[in-house]
Chain A
Amino acid sequence: DAKTTQPNSMESNEEEPVHLPCNHSTISGTDYIHWYRQLPSQGPEYVIHGLTSNVNNRMASLAIAEDRKSSTLILHRATLRDAAVYYCILRARFSSNTGKLIFGQGTTLQVKP
């Protein structure tokens, strides 16, 4: 599975946008880019995913670089509840791994009031 690189930590102010970067320079053409987050004392939860085009949902937006070697998770207005560890994960389209998620160290997001 291709590897991702994320900053260890980021800070944001409440109600401001947050851009969480992820590098995946060895991504293959059929890898999906997934984002999950883990709030304190909870299990990971799905945020968003995409393949080539930018994606929006009620939680966030995902901007994917044209060469797909990097992506950015955008939280449009950070709230205190968004403080969590954010994981960028690649999932192979054709793989025998039955869709297992391989977690890296993620980015710990702090949101200041």
Chain B
Amino acid sequence: DTAVSQTPKYLVTQMGNDKSIKCEQNLGHDTMYWYKQDSKKFLKIMFSYNNKELIINETVPNRFSPKSPDKAHLNLHINSLELGDSAVYFCASHPGGPNTEAFFGQGTRLTVV
């Protein structure tokens, strides 16, 4: 069973569209994250949720809206897509604490044309 799964794996869409990426973890973790990896390969945190509550919002444009219906799911909705939103988006989950490991999904490659 995949610990952290994201759908879709690939997403190609036109500028101005609205799209969603879904993430589910079956590890029972309380904390989930969204990361963005741009074309230069830098991994940057976007959001962190703990038990369905937003904990961190790293100055992400408000076109990006995470939604956590329960602690096993953290979806990312993006409005009015722009060319600069093209990137690989990774979901991750973590049980909490600095002495434990985080688990990442396989990523969603978003291409805005």
Residues of A within 8 A of B (CB): 31-32, 34, 36, 38, 41-46, 49, 51, 85, 87, 91-93, 95, 97-103, 105
Contact = CB atoms under 8 A, between A and B. Distances in A.
A53 to B, nearest CB: 13
A59 to B, nearest CB: 11
Interface in B39-97: 41-45, 48, 50, 55-56, 90, 92, 94, 96-97
Dominant SS at the B interface? strand
B47 to A, nearest CB: 10
Given A43-B4, A43-B105, A46-B102, 5 more contacts: A31-B98, A34-B101, A100-B48, A103-B42, A103-B44
Interface of B: 4, 31, 33, 41-45, 48, 50, 55-56, 90, 92, 94, 96-107
6 contacts: A43-B90, A44-B43, A44-B92, A87-B43, A98-B94, A99-B98
